[in-house]
Amino acid sequence: MHPAEALAQQLKPGCGWDQWLADEFRQPYMRQLTEFLAAEEQAGKVLYPPRSHCFNALNSTPLANVSVVILGQDPYHGPGQAHGLSFSVRPDVPLPPSLINIFKEIQQDLSIAPPDHGCLQPWAEQGVLLLNSVLTVEQRNAGAHQGKGWERFTDKVIEVINRERDNLVFLLWGSYAKKKGQHIDRNRHLVLEGPHPSPLSAYRGFFGCRHFSNANQWLERQGKASVNWALPSKAEMIRKYKK
């Protein structure tokens, strides 16, 4: 079995993404990408997230359930952090600075106290697609897998969402996400743009953007369920997501 075929099997059947993305795994770029990943692993390099969580964003948020899309760039490259959702970390590891700032904005916007962990899995299961542009990274080597083909794959994901769904909310933070989402149809979807929540840029307009309340108001106007941005406790999360 070619590595691309093995990787394709990580997409859950019936999630809606498989029918639109199946052809991507047969494209030369994806075969080259998966051969690169296999060679990196054979060379003894540690890659994140684990292969079983590579498509966690797509598997956790079926196409038909997507209501909000939050675009990220790369997975975290520290041990135990990445689990396939943009900005999210496993519940038992320290919060990254950007995620701390996201929680600060939610508190300011919606008066929701910051949680004691950084696992955003409950958001994904409510319809928030937490999609990174690049889906793998080498341990302690940020951006190591940029330009290897993942960007083309996730462009296809965005193309499918843009075309097949209506009245979604896209949250584009920072210049990278804005460029990634430049072809989203603003007549069909609400696109909210702002600075990245990193400590370097959060004070340039991310704080006070009110994207979370604006997203919910938009969804409610479209007759859709709003997102509960509050998260369960760390103890509850660890108990529920032991994998």
Token code pair at residue 106: 């939610």
Active site residue 74: yes
Q: For the range 32-37, what are the long-range contacts, defined as Cβ-Cβ under 8 Å and sequence gap of 24 or more? A: 32/148, 32/149, 33/4, 33/148, 33/149, 33/150, 33/153, 34/2, 34/3, 34/4, 34/6, 34/7, 35/3, 36/145, 36/148, 36/149, 37/3, 37/7, 37/136, 37/145
37 close to 47: Cβ distance less than 8 angstroms? yes
49: preceding bond cis by omega (within 30 degrees): yes
Catalytic: which of 18, 23, 74, 109? 74
Burial of 223 (0-12, 13-18, 19+ CB in 10 A): exposed
- Residues that are catalytic: 74
